[in-house]
Amino acid sequence: MTVDLSVSWLGMTMPNPLYNASGVMCRSVEELERVRLSAAGAVITKSCTLDPREGNPEPRYASTPLGSINSMGLPNAGYRYYFDYARRYPHHAGKPLFLSLSGLSLEDNLTMLEALAVEQLPCLPEINLSCPNVPGKPQLAYDFAATAIALAEISRAWHGPFGVKLPPYFDPVHFVEMAHVLGGYAGLRFITCINSIGNGLVIDVERESTVIRPKQGLGGLGGDYVLPTALANVREFARLLPEKHVIGCGGIRSGKEAFMHILAGATAVQVGTCLHEEGEGAFERILGELTDIMRAKGYHRLEDFRGRLKVC
């Protein structure tokens, strides 16, 4: 039985729904090229700022039995570096390029979007409203009024389609309130759910110590810890905003979790912690596992089950 994993959305076609989560394997051209040349269906860059940043002091990432904790602090080469990559990117070779933007202020995001608008590069901005790791900077998307102001300004500066990366929400009232804000902006075409669960604390009992150094050990959680929260956010935003696309991110480490995200309503899915641990071979493995699950269930295409999660 033939299985077709392709995804057509926003006027483009990806060979399959899998790509890297921003932050993993996407800080340098060498890393970005590893993703592009892998089995991934798209590529996204590291969240960038106006100027290059070193990020937080090490150790700032730790692998744990259930996933990962990080407080990288936005180490990146500055937006010009990623725009330069986008200029040279083979856009017509079939793997879309997403640019993750994470200005330290709304003005910085507007500056980057205005520069992108001048260039007319055929890539999609994913505006990060949820970085938990810059000391003193709260996650913008936990402030609903500030998010509405940011989206209004962004919509003035950028007339093409764009997306936002959201933090996880944990209450139905917040899903509804954020969906109401997001629904007001026609240019906002996709929402990526979820960023890491911010400000967790992992403790090493032997050393009686935190496992990362910045922010007294607090950091964003990824991996198995976050899968049910990610699925809840994907399902709720897909249900509340049927006219937008939801990109699933959180806890995908095999074809099974990719299937779950798509069943919950995800158009495409991003891999973070697992990609960091395993390397780009993870894409081919996960796609093979997803294909096997679909074949066993008799599904030919992702549309055969996308968003069709039943309530028992």
Residues that bind ligand DHB (CB under 6 A): 23, 47, 55, 71-74, 102, 128, 130-133, 195-196, 220
Residue in the block written with tokens 């392709």: 6
Q: Which residues contact 308 (CB under 8 A, 6 or more apart)?
A: 263
Q: In whole angstroms, give the CA distance from residue 118 to residue 99.
A: 15
The residue among 137 and 295 lying less far from ligand DHB, judged by its C-beta, is 137
Rounded least distance, CB 216 to ligand DHB, Å: 15
Rounded least distance, CB 24 to ligand DHB, Å: 10
Task: Answer yes or no: 249 catalytic.
Answer: no
| Choice among 131, 193, 249, 274 that is catalytic | 131
The residue among 64 and 301 lying less far from ligand DHB, judged by its C-beta, is 64
Helices (H), the chain: 29-36, 79-88, 106-119, 144-157, 172-182, 227-240, 255-263, 273-278, 281-297
Q: In whole angstroms, give the CA distance from residue 258 to residue 266.
A: 9
Rounded least distance, CB 102 to ligand DHB, Å: 5
Rounded (5°) CA angle 132-136-141 = 45
Give the number of other CB atoms < 10 A from CB of residue 7. Answer: 25
Q: Give me 140's structure tokens.
A: 């913008």
Number of alpha carbons in the 13 Å side-chain half-sphere of residue 6: 10
The sheet carrying 97-101 orders its strands as 18-20, 268-271, 245-249, 188-193, 162-166, 124-128, 97-101, 43-44
The residue among 16 and 47 lying less far from ligand DHB, judged by its C-beta, is 47
Q: In whole angstroms, give the CA distance from residue 71 to residue 251.
A: 18
The residue among 20 and 195 lying less far from ligand DHB, judged by its C-beta, is 195
Q: Give me 262's structure tokens.
A: 């798509």
The residue among 132 and 307 lying less far from ligand DHB, judged by its C-beta, is 132
Question: Phi, psi (5° rounding) for residue 88?
Answer: -95, 0
Q: In whole angstroms, give the CA distance from residue 309 to residue 167.
A: 22
CB 309 within 8 A of CB 265: yes
The residue among 169 and 259 lying less far from ligand DHB, judged by its C-beta, is 169
Q: Give me 264's structure tokens.
A: 């919950």
275 CA to centre of own chain: 13
Q: Which residues are catalytic?
A: 131
